[in-house]
């Protein structure tokens, strides 16, 4: 069915949400606007759904949410005898509405639903699935995307985001569901009255916080050091749990950014609510001028990522996800060894695009380091494999460069609540020694070398944009570069083809990881460039790695790589 026919169908049938009716009316006669809403359908992948909120087959709305949920319900009923699900949501626009619509479809299909009464971090949903022994779960969130986006993350019985196999099965079932008439549904209040939908109580939330607190290494060090913290939840779900866990661990001087304290999906003071960028810290930095904290914390709207800035010589320096990951890894290893709690044969997991300093740290402390594809579900999968052997206590740390951290196996996703607690604990521990986290990071650079990492993105919206992004990856595969920034390409790993080619010896090795649309170029001198489409946003991401004897040299190499890739892809 062509875009205009779909548009007319939606004008006729999409009457359950007044916002959709108004939007469809407003774009009458605008062929470009109509095409951008109907040129494709939202795809159900391992990250579930994600898209701009609004009318159309490629938008997030009650109809695309119902359709996806019916496909997921059909999959669960086919796979399990008596499945149940847990549902959570964050502060985004229509998150609570989409969560209720999701609950109503599951309940109408005879699947018992456990839903939170108020917004919760994504990791709490992962915890809830395991705590309630559910067979699946959904959290309605678009993570750190701008306010016009929302999403639908689907989880399996292990508390991890869906595997590719399961997501493919759901997608096939979803495609068989008519977007308007194919999904079963019922009234939410009726579902609650009849017991088909139950509200999750405080016992689960308290159990989650207990599990987080159990990962602390030096209890009470925050109070002893007098650490002062400025915290912003960026109008998201971290406000309550992060403040609760910091209070439990003795951090008494926590100042919350007032403009960003309460839930607000419009993100009025942070249009890009992403702790990876400095703009997200602007309000926190203003508050810092008044209270003079040791550290600034920012969690994204669904509180699975956390970023920091550290006071150094009177200014606040933002630290990257790779730097914080390296700091936490070194701190956890050194202090667990020091207090005798390091397990035998410890394991850490990171992703192929994260800093390679982790390999050097792992070697120092005798930790087995496992590299996985980008996406925290792959880290969670490794924890699950350890659990099957009764060895999940061997897992000490997992992280990815995009500000996601996890210590412990109580959840299977990145967790900004435990990340915030451990970062503050670490900062307090080193403060007692007269050192900041910036100081400690410089020591790690001196010990292991200056590993510098940077990320660029090529963003393209709409139908034409998606085609252009696909063309970038096709171009690189058909015409691989022989050199980047005058550095010879010595090896190419193509994770979609599962091949790793050493160009010097002309040998090809098999990559034993799931297939993924990722290209990795190894260069002379230890530099590296990785290119991959984002799984959740309309962009291609380019990851740069450089290692040099000094920070200045590493920065220069990174800039040279960026300039070369910009020319190559222009």
Q: What's the token pair of residue 162?
A: 């869906």
Task: Tell me, yes or no, if 143 is annotated catalytic.
Answer: yes
For residues 429 and 407, what is the distance between their CA atoms, to the nearest angstrom?
17
Q: What is the 3 state secondary structure string of 510-543?
A: ECCCCCCCCEEEEEHHHCEEEEEECCCCCEEEEE
For residues 301 and 217, what is the distance between their CA atoms, to the nearest angstrom?
27
Backbone angles phi, psi at 311, to 5 degrees: -70, 130
For residues 330 and 332, what is the distance between their CA atoms, to the nearest angstrom?
6
For residues 372 and 370, what is the distance between their CA atoms, to the nearest angstrom?
7
Q: What angle do CA 502, 504, 510 make, to 5 degrees?
A: 15
SS3 353: coil
* Count of C-beta atoms within a 10 Å radius of residue 400: 25
For residues 426 and 422, what is the distance between their CA atoms, to the nearest angstrom?
6
Backbone angles phi, psi at 290, to 5 degrees: -85, -40
Task: Please choose, from the candidates 107, 88, 84, 73, the residue with its C-alpha nearest in 3D space to the C-alpha of residue 195.
Answer: 107
Long-range own/partner contacts, residues 184-189 (CB < 8 A, 24 or more apart): 184/70, 184/73, 184/105, 184/108, 184/109, 185/66, 185/101, 185/104, 185/105, 185/108, 186/104, 186/107, 186/108, 187/104, 188/100, 188/103, 188/104
Q: What's the token pair of residue 13?
A: 């049938």
* Count of C-beta atoms within a 10 Å radius of residue 500: 18
**Tokens 């194919």 — which residue?**
182
Of the candidates 84, 143, 303, 420, the residue annotated as catalytic is 143
* Count of C-beta atoms within a 10 Å radius of residue 394: 20
Which active-site residues does the annotation give? 143
């Amino acid at each position: 069915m062509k875009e205009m026919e779909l548009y007319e169908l939606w004008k006729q049938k999409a009457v359950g949400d007044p916002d959709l009716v108004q939007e469809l009316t407003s774009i009458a006669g605008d062929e470009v606007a109509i095409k951008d809403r109907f040129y494709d359908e939202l795809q159900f992948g391992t990250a579930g759904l994600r898209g701009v909120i609004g009318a159309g087959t490629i938008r997030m709305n009650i109809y695309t949410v119902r359709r996806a949920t019916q496909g997921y319900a059909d999959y669960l009923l086919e796979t399990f005898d008596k499945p149940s699900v847990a549902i959570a949501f964050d502060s985004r626009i229509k998150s609570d509405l989409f969560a209720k619509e999701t609950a109503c479809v599951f309940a109408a299909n005879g699947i018992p639903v456990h839903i939170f009464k108020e917004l919760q971090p994504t990791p709490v949903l992962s915890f809830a699935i395991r705590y309630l022994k559910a067979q699946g779960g959904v959290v309605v969130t678009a993570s750190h995307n701008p306010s016009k986006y929302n999403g639908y993350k689907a989880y399996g019985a292990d508390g991890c985001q869906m595997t590719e196999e399961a997501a493919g099965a759901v997608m096939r079932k979803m495609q068989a569901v008519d977007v308007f008439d194919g999904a079963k549904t019922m009234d939410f209040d009726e579902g609650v009255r009849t017991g088909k939908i139950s509200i999750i109580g405080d016992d689960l939330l308290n159990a989650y916080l207990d599990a987080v607190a159990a990962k602390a290494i030096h209890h009470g060090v925050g109070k002893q050091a007098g650490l002062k913290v400025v915290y912003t939840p960026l109008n998201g779900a971290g406000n309550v749990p992060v403040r609760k866990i910091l209070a439990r661990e003795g951090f008494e001087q926590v100042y919350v950014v007032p403009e960003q304290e309460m839930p607000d999906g419009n993100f009025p003071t942070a249009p890009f609510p992403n702790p990876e960028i400095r703009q997200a810290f602007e309000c926190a930095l203003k508050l810092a001028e008044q209270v003079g904290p040791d550290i600034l914390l920012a969690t994204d709207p669904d509180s699975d990522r956390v970023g920091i800035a550290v006071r150094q010589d009177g200014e606040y320096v933002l630290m990257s996800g790779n730097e914080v990951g390296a700091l936490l890894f070194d701190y956890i290893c050194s202090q667990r060894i020091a207090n005798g709690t390091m397990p035998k044969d410890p394991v850490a997991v990171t992703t192929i695009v994260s800093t390679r300093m982790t390999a050097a740290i792992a070697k120092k402390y005798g930790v087995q380091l496992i590299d996985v594809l980008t996406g925290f579900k792959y880290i969670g999968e490794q924890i699950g494999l350890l659990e099957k052997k009764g060895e999940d206590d061997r897992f000490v740390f997992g992280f990815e460069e995009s500000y996601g951290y996890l210590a412990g196996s109580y959840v299977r996703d990145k967790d900004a609540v435990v990340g915030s607690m451990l970062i503050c604990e670490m900062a307090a521990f080193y403060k007692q020694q007269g050192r900041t986290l910036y100081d400690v990071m410089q020591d790690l650079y001196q010990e292991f070398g200056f590993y510098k990492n940077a990320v660029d993105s090529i963003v393209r919206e709409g139908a034409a944009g998606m085609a252009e992004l696909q063309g970038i990856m096709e171009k690189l595969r058909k015409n691989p570069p022989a050199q980047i920034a005058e550095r010879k390409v010595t090896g190419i790993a193509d994770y979609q083809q599962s091949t790793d080619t050493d160009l010097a010896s002309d040998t090809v090795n098999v990559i034993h990881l799931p297939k993924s649309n990722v290209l990795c170029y190894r260069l002379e001198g230890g530099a590296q460039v990785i290119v991959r489409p984002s799984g959740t946003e309309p962009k291609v991401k380019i990851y740069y790695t450089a290692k040099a004897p000094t920070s200045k040299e590493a920065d220069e190499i990174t800039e040279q790589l960026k300039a070369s890739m910009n020319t190559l892809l222009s």
